[in-house]
Structure 1
Amino acid sequence: MQDIARQFLLKFNKFSSDEINLILDNTSIERFRKGQFVVQAGSICKKCYFVLQGCLRQFRIIDGVEKTSDFFLEKEPVVLYSSYMDRKPAESSVQCLEDCILLSGTKEQEITMHKTNPSLEHLIYTLLSDDYKKAESYITLLTCFNPEQRYLALLETRPEILNRVPLVYIASYIGVTPESLSRIRKRIMFHTDKP
């Protein structure tokens, strides 16, 4: 299993072999089955995860309806920051949509790693910055675009999600019903099929 993580970290071309060894010494590799929860709403997110293999979704239940707010694929971090940083109960759940292999670490392991090699702190800032940009893009998507434009933006920016995520969750993510998404997809296909 560590070979999977080592090969994965090597792809970034950012870490020396000593840094990779340090990361592997201070993290664990965990397997989750499709449908399993990595974090459940109401519990504290005690670990930061990184997707080695698989697809996950973040959602919360509002008035009895699941509202999807994010998807996570390979090379992406999975962490509910407000819960992880402040040790507060999570407001969202994270569930595996496929069998997943995740690299995981605790806050304590993170501190130990940074004490041993302070240069690795840039990794956390990079991940935080990337996650912030992703959240900012999603807010813009919901507030500045109509549902069809949201779907087209998803097609353009994260097309791999459409092959791996059930349409009911895609609909929830862009803020429409599955029926509305079906109509949007038919309209788009009709326009692209026209000569």
Structure 2
Amino acid sequence: MKELIAYILQFGNINQQQIDLITSKVSPMELRKDAYFSEAGKIPRQVGFVVEGVIRGCYYNNKGEEITRHFITENNLVCDYVNFEANTTSTEYIQACTDCRLVVFSSQSWEELSQTIVGWDNIKNKMVQICMYQKSRKNPVISQDATTRYLEFIENYPLLINRIPLAYIASYLGVTQQSLSRIRKNIR
């Protein structure tokens, strides 16, 4: 819980009474590797904070291929926020890449904080901006060669290389697993 409060305090000041209220509004959640936090075709109903583990956002293209759009690591919010706020059906999946521990706000709890804590909307908006930025980061530029894309991935996500399946990295980079294996071998 201290990780969540430290994260929130980056975006504004809250007192101990408000901290107590926030902590009373979250529930712990464990996601096993490959389990979904939210799914395409369903309305997202919660906002999570990743305490431990790695989560990815993915979708299926018109050929039925799975495409990884982004990764969410510890100490970050996770939510399909546009659809959460609009109460509309999601078009992507949010899936655990590893076993994960989260704390989760229900939509009702998230809304109650706005109604109860003065200044919460300002803090919430800043947190949501970061969440949206992470989600909107585009996959590597496909016009770059695959080796360059992989090297940029290593630079942007240095701690993920040995934590998540290569299939997810390959999907993110827009290459096959075999191509990724060759690239990795040539770099060593």
In the alignment, the residues of structure 2 paired with residue 150 and residue 48 of structure 1 have an alpha-carbon distance, to the nearest angstrom, of: 31
In the alignment, the residues of structure 1 paired with residue 94 and residue 127 of structure 2 have an alpha-carbon distance, to the nearest angstrom, of: 18
Aligned length: 183
User: What does residue 158 of structure 1 align with?
Assistant: 157
In the alignment, the residues of structure 2 paired with residue 165 and residue 143 of structure 1 have an alpha-carbon distance, to the nearest angstrom, of: 22
User: How far off its partner does 1:79 sit?
Assistant: 0.6
User: What does residue 19 of structure 1 align with?
Assistant: 18
The AA in structure 2 aligned to 1:9 is L
In the alignment, the residues of structure 2 paired with residue 70 and residue 17 of structure 1 have an alpha-carbon distance, to the nearest angstrom, of: 34
In the alignment, the residues of structure 2 paired with residue 79 and residue 91 of structure 1 have an alpha-carbon distance, to the nearest angstrom, of: 13
User: How far off its partner does 1:162 sit?
Assistant: 0.9
In the alignment, the residues of structure 2 paired with residue 187 and residue 127 of structure 1 have an alpha-carbon distance, to the nearest angstrom, of: 39
User: What does residue 33 of structure 2 align with?
Assistant: 34
User: What does residue 127 of structure 2 align with?
Assistant: 127
> Taking structure 1 as reference, are residues 112 and 11 closer, same or farther at Cα in structure 2, changes over 3 Å only?
closer
User: How far off its partner does 1:168 sit?
Assistant: 0.9
In the alignment, the residues of structure 2 paired with residue 61 and residue 127 of structure 1 have an alpha-carbon distance, to the nearest angstrom, of: 27
> Secondary structure of 2:138's match?
helix
In the alignment, the residues of structure 2 paired with residue 49 and residue 13 of structure 1 have an alpha-carbon distance, to the nearest angstrom, of: 13
**What per-residue deviation string (whole Å, max 9, x for no partner) do you get for residues 119-146 of structure 1?**
222332222221333245425x335643
In the alignment, the residues of structure 1 paired with residue 23 and residue 29 of structure 2 have an alpha-carbon distance, to the nearest angstrom, of: 13
> Taking structure 1 as reference, are residues 86 and 96 closer, same or farther at Cα in structure 2, changes over 3 Å only?
same
The TM-score, its normalising length taken from structure 2, stands at 0.86
In the alignment, the residues of structure 2 paired with residue 91 and residue 13 of structure 1 have an alpha-carbon distance, to the nearest angstrom, of: 28
Q: Which has the higher contact order (CA 8 A, sep 6+)?
A: 2
Does the aligned pair in 1 maintain the 2:47–2:78 contact within 8 Å? yes
User: How far off its partner does 1:118 sit?
Assistant: 2.3
Does the aligned pair in 2 maintain the 1:9–1:20 contact within 8 Å? no
Does the aligned pair in 2 maintain the 1:70–1:173 contact within 8 Å? yes
The AA in structure 1 aligned to 2:81 is Y
Q: Percent identity of the aligned residues?
A: 28
Pairwise mapping of residues 153-192 of structure 1 onto structure 2 (< 5 A)? Answer: 153-189=152-188
> Secondary structure of 1:75's match?
coil
> Taking structure 1 as reference, are residues 12 and 60 closer, same or farther at Cα in structure 2, changes over 3 Å only?
closer
Consecutive unaligned residues of structure 2, counting only runs of 5 or more, are none
The AA in structure 2 aligned to 1:79 is C
User: How far off its partner does 1:61 sit?
Assistant: 1.7
> Secondary structure of 1:160's match?
coil
User: What does residue 138 of structure 2 align with?
Assistant: 138
The TM-score, its normalising length taken from structure 1, stands at 0.83
User: How far off its partner does 1:160 sit?
Assistant: 0.9
In angstroms, what is the RMSD of aligned CA positions? Answer: 2.0
> Secondary structure of 2:74's match?
coil
User: What does residue 9 of structure 1 align with?
Assistant: 4
